[in-house]
Amino acid sequence: MQTSNEAVLTFDNVAKSFGGVHAVAGLSFSAVAGETLAILGPSGCGKTTTLRLIAGFEEPDIGTIAIGRESMIGKRPYERNVGLLFQHYALFPHMSVRENVAYGLKYRKWPKAEISSRVDEMLRLVQLEDFGGRRPQQLSGGQQQRVALARVLATKPKLVLLDEPLSALDAKLREELGAELKRILTEVGSTTIVVTHDQDEAMSLADRIIVMNRGGIDQQGSPSEIYSRPATRFVATFIGRSNWIGGTLKLNHSGGFANVVMESGTVLTTGNPGLGDEVAVKVGIRPERIAIVGTQEDDRMSGANQFPAMVVNAISMGAENHYHVICSAGTLMVVEPGGRGMSFSRGDRVKIGFRAEDCVLFPSRDAA
Amino acid sequence: MTGRRADDLIRFTCKAMNCLIILFLLTPIAVTTLMAFDARDYLGPLPPPALSLRWFSAFFSDSYFLNGLITSVKLACLSVTISLFAGVATAYAVDRARFRGKEALVSFFLSPLVVPPVVTGFALLLFLSKIGVIDGFARLLCGHIIITVPYTIRATLASISGIDKSYTEAALILGANERHAFWDITLPLARTGIVSGAIFAFAVSMDDVAVSIMLTDAKTYTLPIALISSMRANFNLSIAAASVMLMAMTILLIVLLEKLVGLNRAIGQGTFR
Ligand SMILES: Nc1ncnc2c1ncn2[C@@H]1O[C@H](COP(=O)(O)OP(=O)(O)OP(=O)(O)O)[C@@H](O)[C@H]1O
Ligand SMILES: [Mg+2]
């Protein structure tokens, strides 16, 4: 496995538009050797365009793209040594599994015997040794994906690109193949870029995530950083679930804390976000960061913000229990681990609480 | 229950209509076939008292017919080959190119033929005489390329544009250049369309009268032209024998097409309107 911090892929201020639509606007990032980088964003934010720019199916209008130290501007796709796993796999229907996997090696002028042993090795890696003679149409979706992956990895590309690798599979298979994909990528030690709109896919595969929004980057960081310290309101809403509470910021210069006063007069204690005094803000709080207890168990409650509340909705989702509670801060969603039945039911009087550090603040004028 | 009776009546009428139409279509063909095997050397009342192959051997011993047959086959093979290349090249270029008016061009290529063949033939005759092409075979070849090329373009364009672009892109990113991708991916995946286009084009060329009749000269003529003119000169039943053979060829082509693509699919694609 490569561990050096050398950049394998560098985007420098890359822009691409299609007839006035800015698909990618001033994108700069890099991927280092051996890492799996996810580019995550909503539909239409420019993920596929980014991937196609790397692969050479599109040329940037401005900016430069480099693989290693070599500029890719003007290079044809077959001159780039990049592997791309297509969303619908694009396995050649008129070739057998073996022929598909061998295809790239043929044009790298490998000797026949070496091609054959490399194909064997790849099919073993994806655990499809006995399927070499089949046509792609004779395989299940999951098997097709593994063949496509074997075809991509066979040529030892400098960079592996995955376009929504799990989205074509059903939920059960997705989890299984996600783990399998991660194992294979780690085993091969390839530098990988995954493009997806599905946060679970990004979280489960990637070492690092870039959140894309409208052709640009909102945040990059580790999955847990992005989840617990979203840099923009867009990131906070796009990743995971949040309760949003509106109010006015009152800075208080003792310690790192601040207060947010809601229209109803209720005061929240939050971290200090570095915004000005009296700014209208939205406070975000994750449902699983809110504790919920019965009214008589006051002593178990922790955190600066505590409110008496009433349960208006209680839903068991199996692994999680979802509650909607009403309190002086509004209607909030609370999630607690399930599995041992529901602690509360509709109409129960409860107490909720959350810590100031778990609150994220953004100016109200920021788009969600 | 009167509604039900009316339904039955309508269904019966439709069936009867169906039978009538089939009878109407098939009777002339059946009569021709029967006459082709007639052993008498004059046109007598049906059915013939005895059967023989004499009209077939008469056909093959008549150098006028044979000449026509040879010209027709040469013409069909050559014109189909040329329009196949032209068709594949055009379809590939049109499919890849991005330009304004592409949609219009594609629907122009895919739309039914609008110029009547007689007009094509006459226009070509004038044009070729003007530029001094007087060789009969060359003229016929030009005409047959013009009438067959729409079939090869359409069939190829329909099948090439139906191929998912990601197959070609997959080949490119795996290291194949554009030429390799064309031979490895595009051509094999478009094969059935290309072959069915060629078969249709062949049948069209073998069958054509309207264009050929304008471009024929005394020495070079196609089989259909030979049949028509000999019918005027001295009618005999070798013409029926020739018709039977042309029919057999058509049936053979249809069976071939059915084997390769499924006729319904080929027609259903709207390729051969
Ligand atoms: N070939 C093209 N021609 C015109 N517009 C395009 C083209 N490709 C992309 N776009 C536009 O560029 C923008 C970004 O597209 P892109 O396909 O990169 O989004 P995406 O993030 O992959 O979305 P999705 O998750 O839906 O696949 C969109 O507004 C899209 O309409
Ligand atoms: Mg996309």
In a domain, B241, yes or no: yes
Ligand in nearest proximity to the CA of A18: 1
pLDDT of residue B55: 86
More confident residue, B200 or A256: B200
Per-residue pLDDT tens over the stretch B114-134: 778 888 889 989 999 899 888
In a domain, B20, yes or no: no
Number of domains in chain B: 1
- Closest residue by Cα to atom 3, ligand 1, is A18
In a domain, B208, yes or no: yes
pLDDT of residue B98: 81
The Cβ-side half-sphere exposure at B248, using a 13 Å CA radius, reads: 9
pLDDT of residue A298: 65
Encode chain A (368 residues) as per-residue pLDDT tens digits.
444 578 899 999 999 999 889 999 999 999 999 999 999 999 999 999 999 999 999 999 999 999 998 999 999 999 999 999 998 999 999 999 999 999 999 999 899 999 999 999 999 998 999 999 999 999 998 899 999 999 999 999 999 999 998 887 787 888 888 888 888 888 888 999 999 999 888 988 999 999 999 999 999 999 999 998 999 999 999 999 999 999 999 887 666 778 888 888 888 888 877 788 888 999 999 999 999 988 776 666 767 788 999 999 999 988 899 999 999 888 999 999 987 888 899 999 999 999 988 899 999 887 76
Residue B269 has pLDDT above 60, yes or no: no
The ligand 1 atom at the shortest distance from the C-alpha of residue A42 is 25
CATH code: domain of residue B65: 1.10.3720.10
Cβ atoms of A98 and A119 within 8 Å: the answer is yes
Q: Which residues are paired to A311 by β-bridges?
A: A325
- SS3 string of chain A? CCCCCCEEEEEEEEEEEECCEEEEEEEEEEEECCCEEEEECCCCCCHHHHHHHHHCCCCCCEEEEEECCEECCCCCHHHCCEEEECCCCCCCCCCCHHHHHHHHHHCCCCCHHHHHHHHHHHHHHCCCHHHCCCCHHHCCHHHHHHHHHHHHHHCCCCEEEEECCCCCCCHHHHHHHHHHHHHHHHHHCCCEEEEECCHHHHHHHCCEEEEEECCEEEEEECHHHHHHCCCCHHHHHHCCCCEEEEEEEEECCCCCEEEEECCCCCEEEEECCCCCCCCEEEEEECHHHCEEEECCCHHHCCCCEEEEEEEEEEEECCCEEEEEEEECCEEEEEEEECCCCCCCCCCCEEEEEECHHHCEEEECCCCC
The ligand 1 atom at the shortest distance from the C-alpha of residue A48 is 22
In a domain, B202, yes or no: yes
In a domain, B17, yes or no: no
- Domain map (residue ranges) of chain A: 7-233, 241-363
Q: Note the Cα B159 to chain centre separation in Å.
A: 19
Task: Please compute the mean of the pLDDT values over residues B126-144 and round it to a whole number.
Answer: 89
A56 touches chain B (CB under 8 A): yes
pLDDT of residue B58: 84
pLDDT category of residue B270 using cuts at 50, 70 and 90:
very low
CATH topology of domain A241-363: OB fold (Dihydrolipoamide Acetyltransferase, E2P) (2.40.50)
Between the CA of A239 and the centroid of ligand 2 the distance, in Å, is 18
Which range marks the domain in which residue B246 is found?
Answer: 57-268
Question: What amino acid occupies position A46?
Answer: G
pLDDT of residue B95: 86
Q: How far is A220 from chain B (nearest CA, A)?
A: 28
Minimal-distance CA residue of chain A relative to B190: A94
- The correct CATH number of A7-233 out of 3.30.70.890, 1.20.120.850, 3.40.50.10490, 3.40.50.300 is 3.40.50.300
Beta carbon pairs, A and B, within 8 Å = 58
pTM for the whole structure: 0.80
Look up the ipTM and state it: 0.84
Per-residue pLDDT tens over the stretch B159-196: 898 899 999 999 999 999 999 999 999 999 998 888 88
Q: Which of B164, B173, B184 sits opposite A84 (nearest CB)?
A: B173
Per-residue pLDDT tens over the stretch B9-44: 999 999 999 999 999 988 988 888 888 888 887 777
In a domain, B12, yes or no: no
Q: Could you give phi then psi for residue A272, rounded to 5 degrees? A: -90, 115
**In 10 A of CB A167, how many CB atoms?**
13
CB contact under 8 A, B173 and A107: no
In a domain, B203, yes or no: yes
